[in-house]
Amino acid sequence: MTHIAIFASGAGSNALKIIEAFAHSPRAKVSLIVCNKAGAGVLQIAENKQIATILLDKEQFFRGNAYTSELKAFSIDLIVLAGFLWKVPPALIRAYPGKIINIHPALLPKYGGRGMYGHHVHQAVIDHKEKESGITIHYVDELYDHGNIIFQARCPVLPEDTPETLAKRIHQLEHTHYPRVIGELVS
Ligand code: GAR
């Protein structure tokens, strides 16, 4: 059984899809939700689904043990970032080599890097008059949105799109593919 920790900062719609996808799986389960923001929607989802949570303290995450011993105590094998807005510290990457993945709401290497999250990404895609956007699922390394790409899917950007309408289309892609790709990684 692969024990998954989902790291998220926001509403947690991807976290919910992943939790549901593995609820009855013999291969993997979401054992822990890790969040850096008190009051984030993902914490309510964890409570509803009766999944343990850790609320990160910035000092301990970036200058302490990066919660490696807490994650090991939960037997975590795979870390899944789903709308997690803090950079992953080197200590955590060293503790989980090749075992941390992220989803980004654009076609990397375009529209990635510091400050490129959520609606900022979609606004930039629209401002550059891109005809298509999409999602990228990739391994996490020490640079923002940089590690090896596992999977990409594309969708059109329509002339009338706003960041909100594009976000909706992107979220649909994410919800379809993220649980499936994780399923392949744990099989
Ligand atoms: C998702 O669209 C994810 O790709 C994005 O945040 C959203 C979280 O939505 N992540 C980034 O922008 C990371 N740079 P959710 O909380 O509903 O899953």
Q: Contact 20/13 with Cβ under 8 angstroms?
A: no
Q: Residue 100, CB half-sphere, CA atoms under 13 Å: how many?
A: 24
Instruction: Tell me the mean pLDDT in the region 6-15.
Output: 98
Q: How confident is the model at residue 76 (pLDDT cuts 50, 70, 90)?
A: very high
Q: Is residue 116 a part of any domain in this protein?
A: no
For residue 38, give the CATH number of its domain.
3.40.50.170
What is the span of the domain harbouring residue 30?
Answer: 2-105+135-153+175-186
pLDDT at 100 over 90: yes
Q: Is residue 169 a part of any domain in this protein?
A: no
Q: Is residue 54 a part of any domain in this protein?
A: yes
pLDDT at 126 (0 to 100): 98
Of ligand 1's atoms, which has the minimum distance to the CA of residue 118? Answer: 12
Phi-psi region of 131 (alpha: psi -120 to 50; beta: other; left: phi over 0): alpha
Q: Contact 163/122 with Cβ under 8 angstroms?
A: yes
pLDDT at 10 over 90: yes
pLDDT at 143 (0 to 100): 87
Task: Note if 128 is an active site residue.
Answer: no
* Start-end of H helices in 40-152: 41-48, 58-63, 68-73, 90-95, 118-127
Instruction: Tell me the mean pLDDT in the region 105-134.
Output: 96
**Amino acid identity at 49:** K
Q: How confident is the model at residue 21 (pLDDT cuts 50, 70, 90)?
A: very high
**Amino acid identity at 60:** Q
User: 174-178, long-range: CB within 8 Å, 24+ apart, which pairs?
Assistant: 174/13, 174/14, 174/17, 174/103, 174/105, 174/135, 175/13, 175/14, 175/17, 177/135, 177/137, 177/151, 177/153, 178/14, 178/17, 178/18, 178/80, 178/82, 178/103, 178/135, 178/137
Q: Is residue 166 a part of any domain in this protein?
A: no
pLDDT at 94 over 90: yes
pLDDT at 122 (0 to 100): 98
Of ligand 1's atoms, which has the minimum distance to the CA of residue 105? Answer: 4
| Structural domain count, the chain | 1
Pocket around ligand 1 at a 6 A CB cut-off: 8, 10-14, 82-83, 103-105, 116-118, 121, 170-171, 174
pLDDT at 114 over 90: no
Please pick, among 3, 104, 119, 120, the residue that the annotation labels catalytic. Answer: 104
Q: Is residue 115 a part of any domain in this protein?
A: no
Tokens 């959520």 -> residue = 118
pLDDT at 48 over 90: yes
Mutate to test the pocket of ligand 1, among 7, 9, 13 (most ligand atoms within 8 A of CB): 13
Q: How far is the CA of 61 from the centre of ligand 1 (A)?
A: 20
Q: Whose CA is nearest to atom 2 of ligand 1?
A: 105
pLDDT at 144 (0 to 100): 85
Q: Is residue 82 a part of any domain in this protein?
A: yes
Q: Is residue 78 a part of any domain in this protein?
A: yes
Q: Is residue 114 a part of any domain in this protein?
A: no
